[in-house]
Chains A and B, each alone.
Chain A
Amino acid sequence: MSEKKYETPLLDELEKGPWPSFIREIKQEAERPMVRDLLGVLERSYEEHIGHWKHGGLVGVMGYGGGVIGRYSDLPEEFPDVSEFHTFRVNQPAGWFYTSGALRDLCDIWDKHGSGLTNMHGSTGDIVFLGGKTTSIEPVFADLTEKGWDLGGSGSDMRTPSCCAGPARCEWANYDTLNACHEITQAYQDELHRPAFPYKFKLKFAGCPNDCVASVARADMSIIGTWKDEIQIDQEQVRAYAARGMDIEREIVELCPCDCISWDGQAMEIADGECVKCMHCINHMPKALRPGKERGAAILIGAKAPIVGGALLSSVFVPFLEMTPPYSDLRELIEAIWDFWGEHGKNRERVGEFIQRVGLGKFLEQIGLDPVPEMIAHPRSNPYIFFDDEIVAGAEA
């Protein structure tokens, strides 16, 4: 075991200031040789402006193709205790709700087998254990499963689905995000643990268009709560906001992107047919306005971070879907997409890039959806949808 303690002048800079510091946190565990070597190799990376990790390879638990990300140092002689520094992704509970006992179990398992360092949570949503040796992989998995935990996704599989706190804490949830996330995770255990896709596929569940899980920027499929009918207005509360000094004209009416709110000093009216559910008015007047009563979710497809090609935001695919268990419509859609993209997607091609390549019209035809106006991101943009001859003939007749 390495006894050497490294000087880390560059990392020490990152402890300065009032904000949280990952270096300060790592140093708390620095009595462990693995953590000392981690600080050493990190200081080296800051000096040389290059990373010293290689990732990938053959690490995993028996039967699974995801959940453990192999990570190796390219300086194993100098930093032997981080020669293997694998990452474990553990499937988080829906909405990230824990009991203190559950957190203790997780920490005890990781103290026993790994570096003791965690990342709560990774950007996909998983609980992340940082830094384990190859020999620790099966023992970690055995201890996790004994306590009722399981690994999450990695590689070319369905990544661990995640959701916002939804109805557990938030009055704006238009469906039960926690239940939907849990049910979909359970339904697709094979797709989560046994990578069979061209590349990763992320599902994120947000209860309303505020999208607290940032699904439009990150998920291949975003399931965003919405409503079909009218925004519920409590006129008395609207007047109370005005009486407390809110300039409703300036702060609400003028900032509605659809110009569909009016206020005459006594009553507020909303032309709901024009509303795009941006949540601005509801966010600003939570006591006076609420989403409608006919609730469900809009399904958006195709977001991704800029790793291979550029970044993509997701676009509307299904404007409204009822979201009640067992979520049969949602599952049918997910499976149709996986089937087509799974067979024809290129290696490392996300579903959004795939749609760009094959064209939206062809994609819709293959998964059995009809084009609708909500799929058009900008007025007069060409959605590349060509109507069948018989439809055109019918229209001309």
Chain B
Amino acid sequence: MSEIAVAQVAEAMYDLVKSTHGKKNLKPMDLTKAMIEQFGEGCDKQICKQAIRELIDSGRCIYSYVGGSYITLPPTATA
């Protein structure tokens, strides 16, 4: 299988964060594992790291701290 585009993984991660918002806190590794499962061998830890960077740097997601560090939606996106 060919390599998946970072943007595609970022989009899928965003959907997952959105769908679990308020129900389950997701850590970067939770997202990474979910993406590798979803996209198969074309997706790896490095692509997921870049996808997380894209989500955070664009402001679509932020880090939160609740006893550990999680990736979540910014308050404006959930208002």
Contact = CB atoms under 8 A, between A and B. Distances in A.
Nearest to B63: A65
Contacts, number: 65
Given A63-B57, A155-B63, A195-B63, A347 B68 contact: yes
Interface residues of B, number: 22
Interface string A57-84: 1101011111001100000000000000
Nearest to A344: B29
Given A58-B62, A58-B64, A66 B29 contact: no
A254 to B, nearest CB: 49
A69 B63 CA distance: 12
Interface stretch (B4-12, B15-23, B48-56): B48-56
A70 B68 contact: no
B29 A70 contact: no
A266 B59 CA distance: 73
A69 B53 CA distance: 21
B1 interface: no
A55 B66 CA distance: 9
Contact of B65 (A155, A196, A197, A347): A155
A287 interface: no
A342 B68 CA distance: 13
A33 interface: no
Interface in B23-40: 27-29, 33
A66 B28 CA distance: 14
Contacts of B27: 156, 196, 198, 347
Contacts of B64: 56-58
Interface string A262-299: 00000000000000000000000000000000000000
Contacts of B69: 65-66, 155-157, 195
Contacts of B49: 190, 196
Contact of A65 (B56, B66, B67, B74): B56
A354 B75 CA distance: 34
Contacts of B75: 58
Contact of A155 (B29, B68, B72): B68
A64 B63 contact: yes
A394 B39 CA distance: 44
A56 B65 contact: yes
Interface in A23-80: 55-58, 60, 62-66, 69-70
B48 to A, nearest CB: 9
B46 to A, nearest CB: 11
Contacts of B45: 339
Contact of B68 (A60, A190, A348): A348
A343 interface: yes
A339 B32 CA distance: 12
Contacts of A129: none
- Closest 10 interchain pairs by CB? A65-B63, A195-B69, A155-B69, A156-B69, A196-B28, A56-B65, A156-B68, A155-B65, A58-B64, A63-B57
Interface of B: 27-29, 33, 45, 49, 52-53, 56-57, 59, 62-69, 72, 74-75
Given A58-B75, A69-B65, 12 more contacts: A55-B65, A58-B72, A65-B62, A65-B63, A66-B69, A155-B68, A156-B27, A194-B28, A194-B52, A198-B29, A343-B29, A347-B27
17 contacts: A57-B66, A65-B62, A155-B63, A155-B65, A194-B52, A194-B53, A194-B56, A195-B63, A195-B69, A196-B28, A196-B52, A197-B29, A198-B68, A199-B68, A343-B33, A347-B68, A348-B67
